[in-house]
Chain A
């Protein structure tokens, strides 16, 4: 990977961080409502894995902590922020919200609130790929907690049985809201849980984007070439509470501090500084430019966009696409 790409990746992670922090502010200012789950600390996971996929052509799906997966898939940050502000120009026309981002134009197939719900959807995208015959793959990002749902086991079984091209990425941040993984789960190494289904799997550090990319490259290649599922577990940590209504008081200061030392942006920045790819000054200029862009373009766009019209509330319950003779 050359210096230009390395700088781009650093910028993408920093953009993700600043974007999420700005969302938190907007939430406190009541411009964003509902549940808001932010991604700081986990940036290397979505960005590292999707760097090795063909975004725009591979299908991507995840849970409610979905902003950065959407951005890295190619969603316009303005459409994302406008959605959080509940605006008509939002990626889901203000009908979805933070947990329900969609952009089929870049094959980002959503953001879902029900823990474990996207597993079968991802396998379904893969089923259609299989019927059409192409070399795309389907990528499903979910948390460690989701693996205790029936859909996890049911879908692993069917995906393996039917050779569906799905990459399952488990973002293991050690908690499901306030319940530590060892208090909810017998086998805490998630990648071991797919072995009985005959699915190849690996576990790696999710904080070092170079490590994530190395594993993701292998995982993506496995799925794309063998046309079989693969399971990649990334060990990570969220630096904030589960959502805006969670302070994270169930975690010790020491634990949080230990993981803060392994901040993915910190790790990558240090590496690029040491290699002379960026300077401290360049980094600060980059950070300033990102914050200006978020404020002056992204947030302004969202704030100034019109609300959906109340007259349109019943649109999209059913499809409208022209005349459907079988309806009436």
Chain B
């Protein structure tokens, strides 16, 4: 077990998969010679060459489509989009082609296509570099959407995505590439479906994903130390398909639910989890479930305003205390 950073996990997954299969290749803006905006592909260009580590022009929709086409006839592309904000330009190829080809062809053509993309709000990047778009991808039939919260999963989810025969979108986070954590030395695969219990607890279930898992874990620690509340933290991790049974199982234990998301509330991960709670385990609930989420505004540049727009661990603590009346 070695301590590695999130970006190093992603790099290791690329390297192992590219060494194993000559039809795995990577493409994206500045991923080759420059080594990637977050270093996640550094060194690969020298090792695998320009045919397999491709610096693309700034043409998101078409290089995504080239990846999709390559996947349809047997290759396994890993396409990096520099920022999720730019993925809007690739939506046509992603949703009209990647997501639908297997279904439209009656299962005759597979599309083992992987898109990696950092999302989230970083530091004062302004509204056009701060989008959180998981709600868009998870609304599309035919895609798989996963979100690593740890270096281990940044590695393990990419490994799984490359092997999977369906199109997979991996949403990373701008602020997490230097996060440290343990990654086993031997090869492993993080499953593309299912939740993971990050902390066992009995009083309340806090559902989170990607960066909000860390807010939830910080909040749980504070709740235990300062308020005697034992919170369970669940990493949703797979946003599509979402693990309905896993969500219900935790609530059957705690009877209370909070969803924490970095995104604004409407039509999002939180609303989906709320619907699942209603449909799967309504009568298990002792309190109305609550969402902790960003404000419904384009993210402002000013540091104070930006902080005010995005939730944090303190907001999670407050929401739990309010729910439990302690």
Binding site for B on A (CB under 8 A): 59, 61, 90-96, 100, 102-104, 107, 109-110, 112-114, 117, 119-132, 150-151, 154-155, 157-158, 161-162, 315-321, 324-328
Contact = CB atoms under 8 A, between A and B. Distances in A.
A124 B96 contact: no
A323 to B, nearest CB: 12
Interface string B179-191: 0000000000111
Nearest to A130: B51
Interface of B: 22-23, 25, 51-52, 54, 56-57, 59, 61-75, 77, 92-93, 96-97, 101-110, 141-142, 144, 159-161, 163-166, 189-194
B25 A325 contact: no
Given A93-B107, A151-B65, A327-B193, 6 more contacts: A100-B104, A102-B109, A109-B72, A131-B23, A318-B102, A321-B165
28 contacts: A95-B103, A96-B106, A100-B104, A102-B109, A104-B109, A109-B73, A109-B109, A113-B96, A117-B93, A119-B65, A121-B69, A121-B72, A123-B65, A124-B66, A124-B70, A124-B71, A124-B72, A130-B51, A131-B23, A131-B51, A150-B59, A150-B62, A155-B66, A161-B57, A162-B54, A319-B165, A326-B161, A327-B191
A197 to B, nearest CB: 11
A254 B310 CA distance: 65
B66 A127 contact: yes
A103 B93 CA distance: 20
Contacts of B109: 102, 104, 109-110
B106 A95 contact: yes
Nearest to A113: B96
Contacts of B72: 109, 121, 124-125
B69 A122 contact: yes
Contacts of A125: 69-70, 72-73
A156 to B, nearest CB: 9
B103 A316 contact: yes
Nearest to A95: B106
B51, B73, B141, B190 interface centre (most CB from chain A within 10 Å): B73
A131 B73 CA distance: 11
Given A318-B166, A319-B110, A59 B62 contact: no
A131 B213 CA distance: 39
